[in-house]
Amino acid sequence: MRSFQPHLFVILGASGDLTSRKLAPALFHLMERHNELRCCHILGVARSDMSDAAFRDSVRDALHERHPEGSDLSAWCDDHVFYQSLGGGSGYDGLARRIASIEKECGLPGNRVFYLALPPKTFPGTIEALGQANLHETPGWARLVIEKPFGHDLTSAHALNDLVHRYFSESQIFRIDHYLGKETVQNLLVFRFGNALFESVWHRGQIERVDIQVHEDLGVETRAGYYDQSGALRDMVQNHITQLLSLVAMEAPARFDADSIRQEKIKVLESIVPLRPEDVLLGQYAAGEVDGEPVRAYREETGVPDGSTTETFVRLRMEIANWRWRGVPFTLETGKRMPEKRTRIAIRFQPAPVSLFRPYEDTCNVRPNILEITLQPDEGFNLHFDVKQPRMPLRLTPRRLRFRYDEVFGDLPEAYETLLGDVIQGDQTLFVHADEVINSWRLYTPVLEASLPVHPYAPGSTGPNSAS
């Protein structure tokens, strides 16, 4: 276990929603659980003109809003939280001077985290500015955290990788995907490789199909400006769902460390058969009713251009052409305005080769065993199987073995709390490697360029009719 070393956590874009909603609460929860992490100092950076005191108050307000019971870290803010404006002409040279001043004043060794809590279009300019100001050159360590999406297509992903690598090595780069911080996602590796019962049947000889679904019951809400430039394929499939796919399908790593796990995930992505148009179904939610209330069509949402063909639903069928998975279909599905908010992975096992219950076909409908891994809203596992009902005639009924994290362990840490702790410790296991990004974009860019038809579907349904 790596230690929490004294450092300066620099949040670029600190006046935005991400800082108050996720980053500040996550950092403070870490400090409450790990007293040695109070060696952390936070520097908020943005264009807004704001004093240290005003930024500290905004951080306290964010914490109080989400945790009214309060925190004993309130007084800690006065000596550990700072703010620097990029306005007024000082820019990144002024930021470099402020960082040097804080590190000297607080006796810090030069360890720095730079977190880009910014719109994706500003990533290149910000990374270039950090490099030009030599902020990556420090007597300690420097780490760069980049929110998804990492690029808009294959060409832009290559360009962004080249730019980042001009100033930071791959070992310093933390491409963050908050799905990988969920306890159930992390437990996939333990579940598979720590339990011989499941690993022994985790292959094409015993598994009939794998379904990965990320459903949202809401529409685009206030994100239309971003979403219409992205769509469901870029927003969810290229990153979140593909990461889940690689964890489900990967081989056992040589060691339980970041490099070994990343190598196996990359092998999965390199083994996926190129997608064909007939493997892809796109949809866009139309107007309708949900729970008796009218809802607008996607094209009627505020900020969506007239006639937009941006997809809000994607269903992909793909095959992994390697020894373990050849011939097993993987379906990846995501959509907005679905019947419920749910993220799950369903492993459907092969049926029994011969039915023993032909004389009782009316009452003995043998169902396949299904392992259901739920990531949200109720993180846990269900294993579905058939049992005999008591008495005669012979009758089968489906039942399940059920496990829920919160029932056993109580409240789970937020994904950002887990991931920020890993950043500070320098553990890249749950972060995305450059080669993963490139291989993912290489897989989906032909689909993005194919101009496939986008089918309407009713809100509250499971997608276009052909998705059934």
* Beta carbons within 10 angstroms of residue 440's beta carbon: 25
Note whether 12 and 116 are within 8 A (CB): yes
Q: Helix-strand-coil percent breakdown of the chain, rounded to 5?
A: 40, 25, 35
Q: Angle at the Cα of 21 (from 20 to 23), degrees rounded to 5?
A: 70
d(Cα 48, Cα 77) in Å, to the nearest integer? 20
- Dig out the tokens for 139 from the structure: 């007597």
- Dig out the tokens for 150 from the structure: 């990492």
Burial class (CB in 10 A: 0-12, 13-18, 19+), 75: exposed
Residue 349 host element (H or E): strand 342-349
Residue 149 host element (H or E): none
d(Cα 269, Cα 89) in Å, to the nearest integer? 45
Instruction: Please list, residue by residue across 35-64, b when 16 or more beta carbons sit within 10 angstroms of its beta carbon and e when fewer do.
Output: eebebbbbbbbbeeebeeeebbebbbebbe
CA-based max dimension of the chain: 85
- Residues with a catalytic annotation lie at 240
- Chain Cα centroid distance, residue 71: 28
Amino acid occupying residue 187: N
Note whether 272 and 441 are within 8 A (CB): no
DSSP-based three-state secondary structure for 426:
coil
Q: Angle at the Cα of 41 (from 36 to 47), degrees rounded to 5?
A: 155
In DSSP terms, which residues pair with 115 in a beta bridge? 11, 145
d(Cα 66, Cα 59) in Å, to the nearest integer? 11
CA dihedral of residues 366, 368, 373, 379 (deg, nearest 10)? -10
